[in-house]
Amino acid sequence: MARDTGFPRADVENDFLRARRSQVMARLANRLRRGPDDVNLMLPFDEVVAALGRTAERYVGLETIKLSTVVGSVDSQRDFDRRFRPTSSRVRSRWERLALAQRRGEAIPPIDVYRIGDLHFVKDGHHRVSIALVTGQKTIDAYVTEVQTTVPSKGIERRGDLLMKSYERVFRARVPLPAPAYTAIVVSEPQMYDELGGIVEAWGYRCIQDARRFMERDEVAARWYRDEYLPVVKTLRKGELIDGLEGDAYVAVARERDKLIRSH
């Protein structure tokens, strides 16, 4: 953070220009590294909720939250990047006006956010978050509303991760299991969740035929996890045949078994 000159108006102008330079350099560095295009884009709240599946919502109240957990916006916001650095000079007037008021000791109201897991999404207060980050603050006061979801938000770093979460949400609907089981069943590609759902349903169909009675999804899922998934994974581990995610290893075995069933 730059040293103050003692002239508040000059200081806020310098702060804004420094933030703009940082945003431009970050975008250039990402291009030179050929990183993902969405790595510096703010996470959109509506898309995150759609991918994870909203189950409930409750107002928490006023809290002090870490600025490092503020990663997105409720609006389709293009004025700031993922780290709330201004992406153009369009917001400069309001940004500097608020920053100047803060330097003069005027009362700044808390921001308004939604919380999903450990992540926060700004409903009101984008400029205040930007100013706080540029001036080196680590926390900020916020009115928090917590949103509970079907799939946890852990692992979301950029927009590209939402596709994986969306497939995982659909898989959980097709294969209802206790939460600890989902922690173990992790795959590397989004489409593999769809494939895995089909594998479970095919296994369940054969199980229903053998039992000669109808079974609900939750019973099929529980039987599959207990009698099929865990024994197969245990055998693979015993043979040191898992190199990566156990979910990937199970799908590979299921594919080969499906080929044998079809050919014999």
CATH of the domain at 106: 3.90.1530.10
Same domain, 139 and 188: no
99 found inside a domain: yes
Q: Kindly state the helix (H) or strand (E) to which residue 140 belongs, with its residue range.
A: strand 139-149
Mean pLDDT (whole number) for 118-137: 95
| 103 and 134 Cβ atoms separated by less than 8 Å | no
Same domain, 117 and 210: no
The residue type found at 129 is: V
Confidence category of residue 23, pLDDT binned at 50, 70, 90: confident
| 154 and 48 Cβ atoms separated by less than 8 Å | no
Same domain, 125 and 251: no
pLDDT digits (tens, 9 = 90+) for 227-253: 999 999 999 999 998 989 999 999 999
Same domain, 35 and 69: yes
Same domain, 130 and 183: no
113: helix, strand or coil: strand
Same domain, 125 and 195: no
Same domain, 32 and 70: yes
164 found inside a domain: no
Cα–Cα dist 194/191, whole Å: 5
The residue type found at 208 is: I
Helix 45-52 vs helix 161-174: angle between axes, to the nearest 10 degrees?
A: 30
Q: What is the pLDDT of residue 253?
A: 94
- 254: containing domain: 175-263
- Domain limit, last residue, from 149, 164, 191: 149
pTM of the model as a whole: 0.85
Same domain, 101 and 183: no
Q: Read off φ and ψ for residue 149, nearest 5 degrees.
A: -130, 160
The mean of the pLDDT values for the chain is 91
170 found inside a domain: no
Q: What is the pLDDT of residue 38?
A: 59
Q: What is the pLDDT of residue 3?
A: 61
Same domain, 141 and 17: yes
Q: What is the pLDDT of residue 39?
A: 63
Mean pLDDT (whole number) for 136-156: 96
Q: How many domains does the chain have?
A: 2
